[in-house]
Structure 1
Amino acid sequence: MPEGGYYAKTPRPESIEAVRKALHRHSAVHEYREVTPQVYEISRTGKSTVTLHVTNVYTVGLADVQEIADENPSITCILTVSSWNSYTKQAKEYAKSVGIGLFRFHEWMGALNYDGDEFLDYIAPSDREK
C-alpha cells in the first residue's frame, strides 16, 4: 500500500468530499457542521440531529462499532463510506441495540429521511428483496 495503510479506517479525501456533497444536496438535511473530517453533526428538517462518524473499514465488525462509540459517545450513526464496504450482522445488531445506525452509503442516504426505529432499521429498496 503506497499510503502505508492510512486509509484502512480513515476515508480517502474523495470519499469525504462525496459525504459533504451528499449532505449539501440531501432534502432532509437542514444544515451540517464538520466536527472533524470523520464526524459531522447533521441537523435535519423536522427530525432529530444525527451525529455521523465516517469510516473506511472494509467490513465493520462489532469491535469497530464499540471502538467508534467509545471514542465519541455522541455518535448516533456510522457510515462505512466506500461502495465495496459493508458490515457484519452482529455489528449492525449491536449498533442498533445502543441507538446507533450502521449503514453503507446508499442505505444512509435513505435513512436520513427517518427518525427513531425507522432510521435504525432502514433497509434500502435495492436490499429489501434479498
Structure 2
Amino acid sequence: MGVLKSHKKVLDFKRSRDVVFDITRVPPLSDIRAVLTNIYTVGLAQLMEAIQKVPGVNCVITGGDWNGYTTEAKDYALQNQIGLFTNSEFFGALWWTNFHEYHKKDEEGHPIYRYKSA
C-alpha cells in the first residue's frame, strides 16, 4: 500500500489479517481501523459482518472503483460514524476530520455516492 504510506495525512499504519489496517493519522486527526473487502456491492449484511469480525473497526473499504454499496449500508454507516467507501473515496476521506462523512461532489456541490443495487 505505497499510496497509503505516502499519504500526507498518514503518519503510520500496520496491516494485520491481510485485510485490516490500523492507520495513525497526523494530529489532530483520529486513528482509523479499516477493513478492506472486494465486494462488488456492499449491503447492510456485509457491512455488519465486517464490523462484527473486526473489533473496533470504524471504516470498511470496498477495493476497486467499480465496486459500491447500497443506500441502506451507507445510511447505516453514516448514522453510526463508520466510513464506507470505495478505494478512491477512502483516500479522499483521509483528509477529513470526520472521515466517515466524506463524499465526492458533483459540479453543483451535491454529494456523489457509489450506490449500487444488491
TM-score norm. by structure 2 comes to: 0.85
- The correspondence for 1:120, drawn from 85, 100, 103, is 100
Deviations 1:34-70 (Å, cap 9, x if unpaired)? 1221001000001111001000000000000111111
Aligned sequence identity (%): 34
- The correspondence for 2:67, drawn from 74, 77, 85, is 85
Relative to structure 1, the CA distance from residue 98 to residue 27 in structure 2 (aligned partners, 3 Å threshold; closer, same or farther) is same
| Aligned positions of 1:28-43 closer than 5 A | 28-43=9-24
Higher strand content, 1 or 2? 2
Higher helix content, 1 or 2? 1
- The correspondence for 2:38, drawn from 43, 56, 64, is 56
Aligned length: 109
Unaligned stretches of 5+ in structure 1?
A: 1-19
Structure 1 SS opposite 2:89: helix
Tell me how far apart the structure 2 counterparts of residues 59 and 126 of structure 1 sit (CA, whole Å): 22
1:40 counterpart letter in structure 2? F
The two structures, once aligned, show a CA RMSD in angstroms of 1.6
TM-score norm. by structure 1 comes to: 0.77
1:7 is matched with none
Contact 1:107 1:122 in 2 (8 A): yes
